[in-house]
Amino acid sequence: MIQLTDIHKSYQVGNKQVEALKGVSLQVEKGQIYGVIGFSGAGKSTLLRTINLLEKPTSGSVIVNGQNMLTLKEKELRQARKKIGIIFQHFNLLSSYNVFDNVAEILRMNRVPKDVIKRKVEDLLGLVGLSDKANAYPSQLSGGQKQRVGIARALATDPEILLCDEATSALDPQTTESILGLLLDINQKFNLTIVLITHEMQVIKKICDQVAIMENGVVIEQGSVLDVFSNPQEQTTRNFIKTVFDDQVPQEILSKIKESGPVSKIVRVAFRGDAALDPVLGTLSARFPISTNLLYGSITTIKGTALGILLLHISGEDQPIQDGIRFLRESVYRVDIVSPEEVRS
């Protein structure tokens, strides 16, 4: 388990103080994949690097697997760091070493016997799908293959935690998918705790259990990925979610709705789990004298749970609309009125 409490980090730049982290707290349970998302400069890298003390916080506490990292002696810290692997955006491989030696190096430094190293590296290269590249040099590998070497190297010391510093940001979407698939695979196989930082919501949606959204050195929202996607609280969070499903009503449709007669409302409906399959819309139309138009619909799966988002245009008399919305609120996970005022012609 990782417990960061009230982490502050300031840098002195010339005669100015830059406050990169302004009191961040978060907790990562064993076996979780925890994603931290934010725009450039939000403080994500700084936060990630406090976990293995590559960055020492100005104040706050860092507890990893029950150990207070800030009170460890140098030798104890080296031991603790063996249990925390890290992979980087630009892979950080040794260009004059082949793939085998890139993975073996850390084991040699730890004086592991030669035959054990051979077996271990072969197993790791098998795990990441690079058994046939043991003798290749980094310059002969694709970006995805380089990151696979990075992952094999990070796993060489049998870590319990893997830190991923923008690990897929330099990769194309298809390669990103395959690296995320590999991370999910090793998370499940070894119950490995993974903390990743990214600026892509797609990465969070694809593999994370929990997410923290960072802005200007603070966490502005955190929770399970399913909760945050279905019920975002902050505008920045909504902006990130929009990059995965854009449920904005196009301006032309809004204008047409305004021209089209009686009182109406646009509502955003979120369904979760089995409720996504219930015939709620059919019942809505049958029970209430209103007309319901589907403007947008999307269904996706987040860690095995279906999440559906619909945008509905509901028109008719005021009272039946209110009753219909009340029925929706009782039937689905969440209903928001998108157009704050009634849309009238």
Ligand X SMILES: Nc1ncnc2c1ncn2[C@@H]1O[C@H](COP(=O)(O)OP(=O)(O)OP(=O)(O)O)[C@@H](O)[C@H]1O
Verify binding: residue 76, ligand X, rule CB under 6 A. Answer: no
Across the chain, how many H-helices and E-strands are there? 12, 14
Verify binding: residue 78, ligand X, rule CB under 6 A. Answer: no
Is the Cβ of residue 10 or residue 178 nearer to ligand X in the bound state?
10
From the list 34-42, 120-128, 268-276, 282-290, the region that binds ligand X by CB under 6 A is 34-42
DSSP label at 343?
Answer: B
Work out how close the CB of 198 gets to ligand X at its nearest, in angstroms, rounded to a whole number. Answer: 9
Hey, which residues between 199 and 238 contact ligand X (CB under 6 A)? Answer: 199
From the list 43-51, 155-163, 261-269, 276-284, the region that binds ligand X by CB under 6 A is 43-51
Is the Cβ of residue 8 or residue 82 nearer to ligand X in the bound state?
8
Is residue 36 within 8 Å of 46, Cβ to Cβ? no
Q: Which amino acid is at 1?
A: M
Q: Can you tell me which of 7, 24, 33, 42 binds ligand X, judged by CB under 6 A? A: 42
From the list 38-46, 62-70, 92-100, 329-337, the region that binds ligand X by CB under 6 A is 38-46
Phi and psi at 56, nearest 5°, equal: -90, 125
Work out how close the CB of 223 gets to ligand X at its nearest, in angstroms, rounded to a whole number. Answer: 20
Integer Cα distance of 125 and 149 in angstroms: 8
Hey, which residues between 238 and 277 contact ligand X (CB under 6 A)? Answer: none
| Strand 193-198 relative to strand 210-215, pairing | unpaired
Q: In what order do the strands lie in the sheet with 193-198?
A: 84-88, 161-165, 193-198, 33-38, 210-215, 218-224
Q: Distances in Å between the alpha carbon of 269 and those of 247, 295, 309, 335? A: 11, 11, 6, 5
Count of residues of this chain found to bind ligand X when the rule CB under 6 A is applied: 13
Hey, which residues between 13 and 32 contact ligand X (CB under 6 A)? Answer: 13, 18, 20
Is the Cβ of residue 45 or residue 264 nearer to ligand X in the bound state?
45
* Pair of tokens at residue 79: 């031991």
Work out how close the CB of 13 gets to ligand X at its nearest, in angstroms, rounded to a whole number. Answer: 5
From the list 10-18, 237-245, 298-306, 328-336, the region that binds ligand X by CB under 6 A is 10-18
Helices (H), the chain: 44-51, 74-82, 99-109, 114-127, 143-155, 173-190, 201-207, 225-230, 235-242, 251-259, 280-287, 318-331
From the list 12-20, 222-230, 254-262, 315-323, the region that binds ligand X by CB under 6 A is 12-20
Is the Cβ of residue 36 or residue 152 nearer to ligand X in the bound state?
36
Q: Can you tell me which of 32, 45, 210, 237 binds ligand X, judged by CB under 6 A? A: 45
Q: In what order do the strands lie in the sheet with 2-13?
A: 16-28, 2-13, 59-64, 67-68
* Pair of tokens at residue 42: 């939000």
Binding region for ligand X (CB under 6 A): 11, 13, 18, 20, 38, 40-46, 199
